[in-house]
Amino acid sequence: MKKQLLFIFLIAMTTVNYAQTFGGNFMLGYPQGEFRSNVNQMGYGVSLEGTLWAPSKERPFTIGLHAGYLVYGEVSERRAWSDFPGIYLNLNRTNSMANLHVMLKVSPFFGTVRPYAEGLFGGNYIFTTSTVRNENGNQEVASSTNFDDFTWSYGGSAGILFKIADNLENISALYLDVKGQYLFGTEAEYLTEESVFVNSLGKTIFQPKKSKTDFFTFQIGVVAYFNL
- Write down the pLDDT at residue 100: 94
pLDDT confidence of 1, banded at 50, 70, 90? very low
Mean pLDDT of the region 76-94: 72
Mean pLDDT of the region 194-201: 70
Q: Worst-scoring range by mean pLDDT, 77-81, 88-92, 106-110? A: 77-81
**Segment 165-180, tens digit of pLDDT:** 988 888 888 999 999 9
Looking at residue 104, which CATH number applies to its domain? Answer: 2.40.160.20
- Tally the domains of the chain: 1
Half-sphere exposure of 165 (CA within 13 A, CB side): 10
**CB-CB neighbours of 166 under 10 Å:** 12
Is the pLDDT at 65 greater than 70? The verdict is yes
Whether pTM > 0.85 for this model: the answer is no
For residues 187 and 153, give the distance between their C-alpha atoms in angstroms, rounded to a whole number: 10
Contact 47, 68 (CB under 8 A): yes
Amino acid symbol at 199 = N
Parent domain of 205: 2-226
pLDDT confidence of 190, banded at 50, 70, 90? very high
Contact 23, 224 (CB under 8 A): yes
Give first-to-last CA distance, the chain, whole Å.
Answer: 35
Q: What is the DSSP letter of 89?
A: E
Find, among 48, 148, 149, 63, the residue nearest to 100 by Cα. 48
**Torsion 10-53-46-138 (CA) sign:** positive
